[in-house]
Amino acid sequence: MPYFKNPDVLIIGSGGAGLSLALKLASHDTHVTVLSKFALTSSSTYYAQGGISAVFDAEDSLESHIEDTLDAGAGLCDPEIVRLTVTHGKSSIDWLQEQGVVFTEEQDPSGESKLHLNREGGHSHRRVVHSADATGKAVALSLIERAQAHPGITLLEHHSVVDLITSPAHEAGQKQVLGAYVLDTENNCVNTFSAKVVVLATGGANMAYIYSTNPHSSTGDGIALAWRAGCRVSNMEFMQFHPTCLYHPVARSFLISEAVRGEGGKLILPNGSPFMYKYDTRGELAPRDIVARAIDHEMKKRGIDCVYLDISHKSESFIREHFPTIYQQCLEYDIDITKQPIPVVPAAHYTCGGVLTDSYARTDIANLYAVGEVACTGLHGANRMASNSLLECLVFAERACTDILQKLPTIPASPALPDWDESKVIDSDEEVVVAHNWNELRHFMWDYVGIVRTDKRLSRAMNRVKLLKKEIAEYYSHFRVTSDMLELRNLVIVAELIIRCAQQRKESRGLHYTLDYPELDQSQPPQNTILKP
């Protein structure tokens, strides 16, 4: 495929947010280039199981969805952003169906087909539209197929962004993005891309932890790129740990969907006794932060390796119809979920903070946007409610599209940009250092900056981050870039941002729980944590 290095819009990331925006822009005769770090199917969207929250049930309401989201966000959601997002739920689902996404349906009493709705943690009603238990895959494949067929979209796989290219701050004090240096990992060369607009749609940073439900691509690239370029980040202390990741030495990244609990799955101890009722009256349907801490507490208190999620009281036909992917995947590890409980542990799942944006996905740098998990829009606050993430991708892709189309005619073409200079670097014969640093970082983040934190643990983690940053910076300055090295360079920045935000928050709120400050700080209104470069 020929290179298109001077598109109108360069989108970094090929998940639900990036591809949705690309299709929306291209439908208005805008030329878009989409960069995918690995294969197009390597995004977090592709692996999302649960679904997309939207109000369809007559007994539900927009106000109820808003209230549930605000409650889960523990006082830090932006109410205007929540309302904006929730009110676009139905139109977002309609748009996906127009792109060919097929959602699970059921028949109403009159025999008419309607969308089947799941209920997940934090939701007071059934409002999760889904495609069996592989919603993300259905969405991703449909969007990929549409994008591949569109003449206005160029898709480039195996391209990792090294750094953004920006102009100096002008008189008003705002930088402008001009393009990016991009590593073509298949041809082992760095190319210069210029664009009028650049969009970060790179997903989250959950590979900062040794246990994660995310694909290996979730290394916080967009957050680090924006931070190095001069953007603010916000609320990075709120890393969501999904309560139920399959506990198995081979499959520790396989997620057991929230919908299993929504359909009656019970969390039990090894002796078969339930425990969630001791922590929250909503039991298994409490928000994720509460469920994850409850599991973590039971595991540590009892010295057990995992707890169990049991859906076997449901009929085999029900389980196989509602959870075909989970059923088949567990069978591969000799776990028949129709007859036995599933061993589960919490795992890093979603980055609630990120690059600070406004309601049109604009960042601090002119013509640089951030959409999806990479962004901190104000929707999630201190804890994301289940199935609000894909909704956010769709709504803010539409918002960004509206703003970009309005601005594009007024943005001059990018000036000639300097080529990447690697004249003073050599090929590395010490790549084992990257692997060692990667493992060290993910282990101490899990141990010290995980579900339960303390000031001492955070201080220890920061000391290690500072040492790693020096080693990585020295390595980066001497050797030609590789995809692994770029990920590690980004991940250590993100780890530092998580720790710094956590150290600033002297209370326990949402996903941030510290033994040194176990209660909410009632002395002042809830505050977002904002870091400036």
CA atoms within 13 A on the CB side of 256: 31
C-alpha 297: how far from chain center: 25
d(C-alpha 218, C-alpha 234), whole Å? 18
Locus of tokens 């039990």: 268
Query: CB within 8 A of 10, min separation 6: which ones?
Result: 32, 33, 35, 179, 180, 193, 195, 197, 198, 199
Dihedral of CA 233/237/238/240: which sign? positive
d(C-alpha 469, C-alpha 38), whole Å? 25
Query: CB within 8 A of 131, min separation 6: which ones?
Result: 51, 101, 102, 103, 104, 137, 138, 139
Tokens of 427: 């090929």
- Hey, is 164 helix, strand or coil? strand
Q: Which of 340, 251, 349 has the alpha carbon at shortest distance from 292?
A: 349
Q: How many CB atoms lie within 10 A of CB 388?
A: 29
Paired strand residues for 343: 308
Is there a catalytic annotation at residue 288?
yes
The answer to whether the CB of 83 falls within 8 A of the CB of 388 is no
- Hey, is 357 helix, strand or coil? coil
Q: Where are the beta strands (DSSP E) in 157-218?
A: 159-166, 177-184, 189-194, 197-200
Question: C-alpha distances in angstroms, 150 versus 18, 94, 137, 283?
Answer: 15, 20, 20, 47
Q: Which of 146, 288, 293, 509 is catalytic?
A: 288
Known catalytic residues?
Answer: 288
